[in-house]
């Protein structure tokens, strides 16, 4: 297995919101060019994990390693500059700005000298999501949910990340759009991007992931290949409500 550029590893993370202990010793690895899915019901701590990775929340113990380098507790802008990009749950595009403006804003924030990553051209985003090209002068607030998801992904991609964190990208989208987005995620992995896919859409995770982690109450309770999880009725019923 390749453990080169783009490997993300978290080990023993504990994260609190105030006195609420949310993450209890979470460990997982996302190898280069792989899609790793994180499944779990509402409120188990999936978003807290991705927020901890990009330093929106600080872990009390544990480590976050990018390509073997410790980035735990580093400021978010530095983590982004090093090549980790988050596509947040609920998309959070700038609704009053156009598609093009949404895509140029991240490029205006200088990547800085320390950056080891190559930003994407907006044209490459439009090649990836042709729908966005057709809508480029429209305000993001007028786009459909699927188009907003594509835009949210495009906004992360213009930074040329090595590691992409996707927080429930399929939430509220029609199956056809989920398929379209899945295809792109598969292509991103093929060009070497490492993807942590947080999902509640079991089928999507099954189709895309090389490896799947299941979370319950802030803990990883299962790790396996998609095939083996699909055959594990106990884990599916206990932790995924299937």
- Determine if 42 is a binding residue for ligand ATP (CB under 6 A): yes
Which H/E stretch holds residue 26? Answer: strand 20-30
Q: What residues between 54 and 113 interact with ligand ATP by CB under 6 A?
A: 89
- Give the per-residue contact string, 84-123, with Mg ion (x = CB under 5 A; - = no): -----x----------------------------------
133: tokens are 């090209």
Q: Quick one: which of 3, 4, 12, 17 contacts ligand ATP (CB under 6 A)?
A: 17
Distance from C-alpha of 162 to C-alpha of 193, rounded to nearest angstrom = 5
The answer to whether 239 and 46 are in contact (CB under 8 A) is no
**Among ligand ATP, Mg ion, none, what does residue 22 contact (CB within 5–8 Å per kind)?**
ligand ATP
- Determine if 196 is a binding residue for ligand ATP (CB under 6 A): no
DSSP 97: S
Distance from C-alpha of 212 to C-alpha of 105, rounded to nearest angstrom = 33
* Orientation of helix 99-108 relative to helix 145-157, angle to 10°: 20
Residue 69's CB: how many other CB atoms inside 10 A? 9
Residue with the closest Cβ to Mg ion?
Answer: 47
Q: Quick one: which of 33, 40, 88, 169 contacts ligand ATP (CB under 6 A)?
A: 40
- Determine if 201 is a binding residue for Mg ion (CB under 5 A): no
- Determine if 47 is a binding residue for ligand ATP (CB under 6 A): yes
- Determine if 48 is a binding residue for ligand ATP (CB under 6 A): yes
* Those residues with Cβ within 8 angstroms of residue 207's Cβ, 6 or more apart along the chain or in another chain: 182, 226
Contact segment (CB under 6 A) with ligand ATP among 27-35, 45-53, 117-125, 131-139 equals 45-53
Q: Which of 198, 227, 163 is nearest to 44 (CA)?
A: 198
Q: Give residues in contact with ligand ATP (CB under 6 A).
A: 17, 20, 22, 40, 42-48, 89, 200
């Amino acid at each position: 297995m390749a453990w080169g550029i783009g490997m993300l590893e978290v080990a023993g993370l504990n994260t609190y919101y105030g006195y609420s202990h949310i993450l209890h010793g979470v460990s997982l690895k996302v190898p280069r060019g792989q899609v790793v899915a994180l499944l779990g019901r509402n409120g188990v701590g999936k978003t807290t994990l991705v927020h901890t990775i990009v330093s929106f929340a600080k872990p009390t113990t544990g480590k976050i390693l990018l390509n073997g380098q410790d980035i735990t507790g580093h400021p978010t802008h530095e983590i982004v500059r090093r090549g980790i990009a988050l596509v947040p749950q609920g998309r959070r595009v700038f609704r009053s700005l156009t598609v093009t403006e949404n895509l140029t804003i991240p490029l205006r924030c200088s990547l800085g000298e320390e950056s080891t990553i190559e930003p994407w051209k907006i044209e490459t985003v439009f090649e990836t999501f042709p729908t966005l090209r057709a809508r480029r002068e429209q305000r993001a607030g007028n786009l459909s949910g699927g188009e907003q998801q594509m835009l949210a992904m495009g906004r992360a991609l213009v930074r040329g990340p090595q590691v992409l964190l996707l927080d429930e990208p399929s939430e509220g989208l029609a199956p056809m759009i989920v398929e379209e987005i899945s295809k792109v995620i598969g292509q991103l992995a093929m060009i070497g991007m490492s993807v942590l896919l947080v999902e509640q859409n079991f089928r999507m995770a099954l189709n895309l992931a090389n490896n799947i982690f299941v979370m319950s109450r802030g803990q990883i309770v299962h790790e396996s290949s998609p095939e083996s999880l699909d055959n594990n009725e106990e884990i599916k019923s206990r932790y995924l409500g299937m």
